[in-house]
Amino acid sequence: MSGKDFNRFGFGETQRVFAFQPSTTENLLALSEEQIHQFNKTGYLTALPGLSPSEIGNLRQYLDWLIGEVVSADDARNSYSINQYHRVSGPLWDLIHTPVFVDYVSDILGPESVCWSTHLFCKLPGDGMEVPLHQDANYWPFTPTKSVTIWLAVDDVDEENAAMRFVPGSHLDGDLRHAELELDGSVVLNRRVVEHEKYEDNVVLNEFPAGEVSLHTDLLLHGSAANLSSRRRCGIALRYLAAEVKVVPGGEDWIRGAVHVGAGDPSGYWPHRSRPLKEEPHKMAGFSGGFDGNS
C-alpha cells in the first residue's frame, strides 16, 4: 500500500497508553458476566436492546429532517458530516442519556464517564464510499485507550446495504499501523490499517434491525463497504470514554463537546455541555474534513 504510515494521531511524540483495558464484572447494570467476557475477548457486542419501535420511529423522522437540512445546504457537508451535532441538536443530546445506553457504558467503562462525540454515518442508496478497516484510537488523541462506541441502527442493517464489519479479537493486537489514503470520493475516512487484506477472511458482519445497538472498543478493527443497494443505511455512533482518560498535549479542543453521563467526571477535567436550546444545524456549516470524505 502506498501512503504514509501512521501510529499516532499527530500530536508530536507524546507517549500514549495504547492497550485494551478489560472490563470487570462488578456492579453490572445491563450486561451479564458472560457478555462482559465476550466483549473482552472479541472487542464488541452486537444486536443488543436499544430503542423501542416508537422511539426509533420518532428519531428516524427527526433525522430525515436533519439529513435533508445538511445535504441540501450550499456548503461542503454531506450525509457523513453530521458529526458532533449534539452541540446544536436537542434530540441527539437526549440520545446520549438514553438510560440503557448509560447502563451499557457504566458496565464497560465504570460509573464515571463522558460522551465526547456523536457521529451520524448515513450511507445513502448507491453511495460509493467505503469506510476502510481502521482502529478508532488511531485517530483520537486520548490516553489511555479506554472508550466504547455505541452504534445505533437507525435503519435495518445487513450485508446488502453495507453493514459494519468487525475483526474479532483485533483489539488485543495493540497499536496497529495505518496508512493515509487520498480522499478521492471512494473513502469516508482517510486512513486504513496496513496490510488490511490479511484481515479480510476474519471479518464478521454487524447485522441487526433498526433500534438495536452494538458496542465496540476503540481498538477494534472495523469498517464498512460501499452501499450499492437501493436502501439507505443510517446509524449513529455515540462515543463514550472513562472520565480518567485525558487528551495528549495539542488535543485540548477535543474535550469541548463533552457531556457527562452516569457519575460524570468528579475531577472536573471534562466539561459538561448543556442541552442545546434550539435546533441550529447551520452553525456546523464549516465543520467538514477527513471524517466525511472531504479533503
Identify the CATH number of the domain in which residue 170 sits.
2.60.120.620
The domain total for the chain is 1
Kindly state whether residue 2 falls inside one of the protein's structural domains: no
Determine the angle formed by the axes of helices 33-42 and 99-109, rounding to 10 degrees.
Answer: 70
In a domain, 4, yes or no: no
Q: Is residue 12 over pLDDT 90?
A: no
DSSP string, 205-256: EE-B-TT-EEEEETTS-EEE--B-SSS-EEEEEEEEEETT-EEPTT-GGGGT
> 14: pLDDT confidence band, cut at 50, 70 and 90?
low
H-run or E-run covering 102: helix 99-109
The rounded distance, in Å, linking the Cα atoms of 170 and 254 is 26
> Beta partners for 67?
none
281 pLDDT band (50/70/90 cuts)? Answer: very high
pLDDT at 7: 44
Against a cut of 0.85, is the pTM above it? yes
Kindly state whether residue 31 falls inside one of the protein's structural domains: no
* Residue 98 resides in a domain: yes
Helices (H) and strands (E) in the chain, counts: 4, 15
Residue 2 has pLDDT above 70, yes or no: no
Which DSSP state fits 173? G
User: Which residues form the domain of 218?
Assistant: 36-284
The predicted-structure confidence for 177-213, as pLDDT tens digits, reads as follows 999 999 999 999 999 999 999 999 999 999 999 999 9
* 3 state SS of 99: helix
Model confidence at 35: pLDDT above 60: yes
Asked if the structure places residue 122 within a domain, the reply is yes
Length of the chain measured in residues: 295
30 occurs within a structural domain: no
**pLDDT for 204-247, tens place per residue?**
999 999 999 999 999 999 999 999 999 999 999 999 999 999 99
- Given this model, what pLDDT does residue 1 score? 28
Distance, C-alpha 28 to centroid of its chain: 23
Grid coordinates belonging to 208: 441487526
**Alpha-carbon dihedral of residues 257, 31, 44, 8, nearest 10 degrees?**
40
In a domain, 61, yes or no: yes
Average confidence (pLDDT) over 161-174: 97
pLDDT of residue 15: 78
Question: 108-128 pLDDT, tens per residue?
Answer: 999 999 999 999 999 999 999
